[in-house]
Structure 1
Amino acid sequence: MCLLTLVVSLPSLKPPSCGKHVTYLDCDKRASPFQVGIFYCALYIVAVGTGGTKPNISTMGADQFDDFEPNEKAQKINFFNWWMFSIFFGTLFSNTFLVYIQDNVGWALGYVISTLALFVALVVFIIGTPVYRHKPKTGSPFTNMAQVLVAATRKWNVVMPVDHEELHELTLDESSSSWKYRIDHSSSLRFLDKAAVKINEPVSKWNLCPVTQVEQTKQMLKMVPILFTTFIPSTLMAQTHTLFIKQGTTLVRSMGPHFEIPPACLAAFITISMLISIVIYDRYFVPFAKKYTNNPRGITILQRMGIGIALHIIIMVVASLVEMLRLSVARDHGIFEKGKIVPLSIFILFPQFFLMGVADNFLEVGKLEFFYDQAPEGMKSLGTAYFTTSLGVGYFLSSFILSIVASVTQRNGHKVWILDNLNESHLDYYYALFTVLCVLNFVLFLVAAKNFDYKVEKSVDHLASSRD
């Protein structure tokens, strides 16, 4: 953030100005290779830092709750609701106040405020370090999983024992001393069980793994089909920050004689609806649903995610219909030029933004909780890394789909669906395509969810007593 602040503040790091009324395409002044390099270097540092912190901060927050204390275990169920509430509350601040500052005062001040806020957060985090609960190190989850895969592959032709009790497992003393939670043998992904088969050769971690380590690997692999079904929903999040907002630039944005809604502030509608829906979900829906399901979460995590994915189908149908209306009004008024405003209020976009916030409450919060909850002990950070991986792949997939659609639709002299000029584009067709993709993805999710077995960990009361 310090480097980004310098990039937008120092004249030597900024490209030369073309003036307020000159667009980027009409400007003949360009940033130097050095300025471009510094800018992208700052962005990549932010990306690397985000990849290292996001999976670990949420995991560390959830780890502060003791599963052996009934009250804390109950509170942990609500943790991710309020974790995401705090994240989106900060997003609301950035989408309103900081965007206004950047548009009306300057980018430098906006980045200075963000950098100072991050510095304060870092100081508070460091001050709180002595009171955090720190779990003992259990080794790299990638190494543990690799050992299971290598051992199972090396013993591919080994005959499995009839009784799974003959498989290698940690003793109670070994699991207690290493703070490893023993996990019972399961019948899923049975080919990995060969990693725990005892053979007549020198024992090493790469040819003999305990059942618990095998089951941990199984749990991480079983979540992969669910992970794949979250990629398409993540591409929809990319649309909210790109095409949804670009639609807003073509509509009437005035509120009164002296104020216009900045297009980037449209994302605040998503944040507001999510904040409201999280409170309603946590305080009203969950207590109501618990009476009928006897589930402390009200509904299962996968059911929550399924509702979010289903809402995405509705969102894309609504977005396609709204775009059809916008294009119809544009044609009726003879508006085809780039930059011309269609005489429709920007608030016709409100339903798709509002529904996206509600969908995020179900899918994004449920997704984060699912990957944390179903990851085994010692691999929780890797589980929450699945969550951030879903977002990253979704954004790359969005660009890939856009490129493919542009390439296919321009063949044989046809007009590209998505042009820089939305008044001549067919964004409604593009949204209809996403509707089809969402429907197919929802079917795949239902199949993956039906075949998913929630983890069942063995109770280890002696671990609780050993800590006292």
Structure 2
Amino acid sequence: MAGEPQPSGAPTKGGWITFPFLIATMAGLTIAAGGWTNNIIVYLINEFNIKRIDAAQIANIVNGCTALFPILGAILADSFFGSFTIISVSSLISLAGILLINLTAILDTLKPAPCENGLTVCMAPSKTQLAILYTSLALSSMGLAGTRFTLATMGADQFDNPKHQGVFFNWHFFTMYAGTLVSVVGIVYVEDNVGWGLGYGLCVAANLIGLAIFVVGKRYYRLMKPQSSPFTGLACVIVAAFRKRKVFLSSKSEDYWQETHAGGTKFVKTTPTNSFKFLNHAAIITHGDTTSDGFIKKPWNLCTLQQVEDFKTLIRIFPLWSTGILLCTPLAMQMSLVVLQALAMDRHLGPTFQISAGTMMVFVMLSTSISLAIIDRFLLPTFEKLTGTSPTPLQRIGVGHALNILSMAISAIVESKRLATARSHNLHGNTVVPMSVFWMVPQLVVVGVGEAFHFPGNVSLYYQEFPKSLKSTAAAMVAMFIGIAFYLGTAIVDFLRKTTGWLPNGINDGRMDNVYWVLTVIALINFGYYLICSWLYEYQNVEKNELSSSSPCPC
């Protein structure tokens, strides 16, 4: 994107003066989002009488939306409306959604009657109550998705110096982690121990403050003009190649349409690569494709050679990208299952204080944050001293795969012990088992260390390898496979519920340990697939321009 032209003598916009506005906006929106997303399973179970596995499934769908929709937000911001408009509108949408969730917590008519202790059958929510609940979740999810990555892009647009952009990214992701920790530790505690109305009310206030700060800072922002979507050019390659499928390919560079610049066409002595030769038809020049002054007459009949090669790059990297889906699927399922396990375990810290089930993921965040610092300040420098080179993105992702497998295996072992304890005490349903919830900390710590390796590695890989026209979309592509992973995890849970007895509503009567073993096998097979893909893959860009290791994209 190019910056909007500034009138002569106009003050320069952008720079560090925008930093406090954008970071404060990120903090407010993150605290608001973390307050409702991290405890949504408990809310659905306790306030809407939704069965536990069903609540986990709903949470997976919500998380999938928040991870998948940033792609749509990035395309709309880059191609049509600009980042400022998308962030403002998305913040309003999330505010409306969280406000509606808050109303369901405050007004008794918007939720079913409370389920009394000892009852095996509780009153289910009505269709109207479910419709309002699902509307609130949809609005909140779409609003969150429209701001999370668009804010990062807009922040980077305020700086011309790549080092300053890197510093902003570091603070952006630090703020995202810090805001999530505040919401998980503070707001979730309020929801569980004081009241859902007050907890969600704090989320509304945080969202409103973040939006207000963002709008106030508008006069300082450097706003960028939206450009045509690069995805249009990629679609053109498919259409043009199909239309010209019967045209004979040439070995001469002048027979192919090259990059255009102001003033006409610049022919470079290059010819298309031989891989995926069918796509080369899209760039070959035929009669009637161009005007007399050297411009394309029919855009969907002719593409530049660079567009063809960009499309080939995406095809080459797709197998590696697909491994990220099954890398995140076990993690996505674990996020929900851990909450269900925590509800059926001893959560006391001391004689009186009891931690919230939704706060268990704080151990992942702390582990990731600490690991990032250790990797950046100790492991990477040590690796470079010993080998003389920096670890490649593929190597870092590979370590993450291995740690993912280890985490799922530990999860299976811990759940086996929890079930054995339940049976030894003859406990059924969702009765709390006399086993500390902190038994699950090791598996969550391993997950966090793995994220510190594979998420920055994935972001670095796609930012380095994606075509220049798609650089701003590279990070969102990581979010995209995270979103797909949540939906795939939902499908796997549905399949296991229908074909096995492992996931009943009362988890003490099931075999959740077998679910974790299945995830371990899936992760192991996917790791083998990843090793094959990474072995066959050849880096397209030899530059070692990697993003800072402090810039993960957390599941």
TM range (shorter): 0.7 to 0.9
Shift of 1:2: 3.4
**How is 1:13-92 mapped onto 2 (pairs within 5 angstroms)?**
14-18=110-114, 21=117, 26-28=121-123, 30-64=124-158, 66=160, 72-73=162-163, 83-92=172-181
Asked whether the 8 Å contact 2:465–2:541 carries over to 1, the reply is no
Secondary structure of the 1:258 match is coil
The answer to whether structure 1 residue 395 and structure 2 residue 486 are counterparts is yes
**How is 1:210-221 mapped onto 2 (pairs within 5 angstroms)?**
210-221=304-315
CA root-mean-square deviation: 3.0
Separation (CA, whole Å) in 2 of partners of 1:377 and 1:359: 29
Q: 2:237 aligns with which of 148, 161, 164?
A: 148
Inter-CA distance 251–32: structure 2 relative to 1 (3 Å threshold): closer
Inter-CA distance 212–132: structure 2 relative to 1 (3 Å threshold): farther
1:222 corresponds in structure 2 to 316
Q: 2:528 aligns with which of 432, 443, 452?
A: 443
Shift of 1:220: 3.2
Shift of 1:225: 1.8
Q: 2:354 aligns with which of 260, 264, 282?
A: 260
Separation (CA, whole Å) in 1 of partners of 2:151 and 2:280: 33
Inter-CA distance 129–287: structure 2 relative to 1 (3 Å threshold): farther
CA offset digits 1:94-121 (Å, max 9, x no partner): 2111110111121222222222222332
Shift of 1:213: 1.9
Separation (CA, whole Å) in 2 of partners of 1:399 and 1:153: 37
The answer to whether structure 1 residue 428 and structure 2 residue 428 are counterparts is no
Asked whether the 8 Å contact 2:237–2:307 carries over to 1, the reply is yes
Separation (CA, whole Å) in 2 of partners of 1:85 and 1:184: 45
Shift of 1:163: 3.7
Shift of 1:453: 3.5
**How is 1:102-117 mapped onto 2 (pairs within 5 angstroms)?**
102-117=191-206
Q: 1:283 aligns with which of 368, 371, 377?
A: 377
Inter-CA distance 81–193: structure 2 relative to 1 (3 Å threshold): farther
The answer to whether structure 1 residue 198 and structure 2 residue 285 are counterparts is yes
Separation (CA, whole Å) in 2 of partners of 1:272 and 1:36: 35
Inter-CA distance 27–329: structure 2 relative to 1 (3 Å threshold): closer
- Bigger shift: residues 232-241 or 269-278: 232-241
Separation (CA, whole Å) in 2 of partners of 1:406 and 1:246: 15
Inter-CA distance 223–108: structure 2 relative to 1 (3 Å threshold): farther
The answer to whether structure 1 residue 207 and structure 2 residue 207 are counterparts is no
Shift of 1:197: 0.8
**Matched residue type, 1:245:** V
1:357 corresponds in structure 2 to 448
Asked whether the 8 Å contact 1:81–1:365 carries over to 2, the reply is no
Asked whether the 8 Å contact 2:97–2:140 carries over to 1, the reply is no
Separation (CA, whole Å) in 2 of partners of 1:63 and 1:370: 21
1:465 corresponds in structure 2 to none
Asked whether the 8 Å contact 1:99–1:265 carries over to 2, the reply is yes
Asked whether the 8 Å contact 1:252–1:346 carries over to 2, the reply is yes
Asked whether the 8 Å contact 1:270–1:356 carries over to 2, the reply is yes
The answer to whether structure 1 residue 407 and structure 2 residue 494 are counterparts is no
Separation (CA, whole Å) in 2 of partners of 1:161 and 1:202: 16
- Identity over aligned pairs, percent: 32
**How is 1:361-372 mapped onto 2 (pairs within 5 angstroms)?**
361-372=452-463
Shift of 1:229: 1.0
Q: 1:170 aligns with which of 244, 259, 280?
A: 259
**How is 1:329-344 mapped onto 2 (pairs within 5 angstroms)?**
329-335=421-427, 337-344=428-435
Secondary structure of the 1:206 match is coil
The answer to whether structure 1 residue 378 and structure 2 residue 469 are counterparts is yes
Asked whether the 8 Å contact 1:251–1:343 carries over to 2, the reply is yes
**Matched residue type, 1:190:** K
Inter-CA distance 442–135: structure 2 relative to 1 (3 Å threshold): farther
Separation (CA, whole Å) in 1 of partners of 2:457 and 2:168: 11
Separation (CA, whole Å) in 1 of partners of 2:195 and 2:440: 28
1:98 corresponds in structure 2 to 187
The answer to whether structure 1 residue 300 and structure 2 residue 392 are counterparts is yes
Asked whether the 8 Å contact 1:269–1:353 carries over to 2, the reply is yes
Give structure 2 stretches of 5+ with no counterpart: 1-94, 291-297, 544-555
Asked whether the 8 Å contact 1:7–1:14 carries over to 2, the reply is no
Inter-CA distance 273–279: structure 2 relative to 1 (3 Å threshold): same
Asked whether the 8 Å contact 1:274–1:360 carries over to 2, the reply is yes
**Matched residue type, 2:477:** Y
Separation (CA, whole Å) in 2 of partners of 1:252 and 1:218: 54
CA offset digits 1:135-191 (Å, max 9, x no partner): 5543112211111111111122322222446421124546999xxxxx996554333
Asked whether the 8 Å contact 1:289–1:299 carries over to 2, the reply is yes
Secondary structure of the 2:469 match is coil
Inter-CA distance 138–2: structure 2 relative to 1 (3 Å threshold): closer
Secondary structure of the 2:467 match is coil
Asked whether the 8 Å contact 2:102–2:201 carries over to 1, the reply is no
The answer to whether structure 1 residue 315 and structure 2 residue 407 are counterparts is yes
Secondary structure of the 2:410 match is helix
Inter-CA distance 86–448: structure 2 relative to 1 (3 Å threshold): farther
Asked whether the 8 Å contact 1:305–1:366 carries over to 2, the reply is yes
Shift of 1:320: 1.1
1:324 corresponds in structure 2 to 416
CA offset digits 1:422-453 (Å, max 9, x no partner): 22211121111111100111111122223333
Inter-CA distance 350–7: structure 2 relative to 1 (3 Å threshold): closer
Secondary structure of the 1:456 match is coil
Q: 1:11 aligns with which of 97, 102, 107?
A: 107
CA offset digits 1:63-84 (Å, max 9, x no partner): 5554xx5xx25x6567655543
Secondary structure of the 2:468 match is coil
Separation (CA, whole Å) in 2 of partners of 1:293 and 1:49: 45
Secondary structure of the 2:466 match is coil
Separation (CA, whole Å) in 1 of partners of 2:159 and 2:272: 27
**Matched residue type, 1:198:** I
- Bigger shift: residues 191-200 or 237-246: 237-246
Asked whether the 8 Å contact 2:97–2:137 carries over to 1, the reply is no
Asked whether the 8 Å contact 2:96–2:139 carries over to 1, the reply is no
**Matched residue type, 1:201:** G
Separation (CA, whole Å) in 2 of partners of 1:109 and 1:22: 28
Shift of 1:268: 0.9
Separation (CA, whole Å) in 1 of partners of 2:408 and 2:342: 16
Separation (CA, whole Å) in 1 of partners of 2:459 and 2:110: 38
1:412 corresponds in structure 2 to none
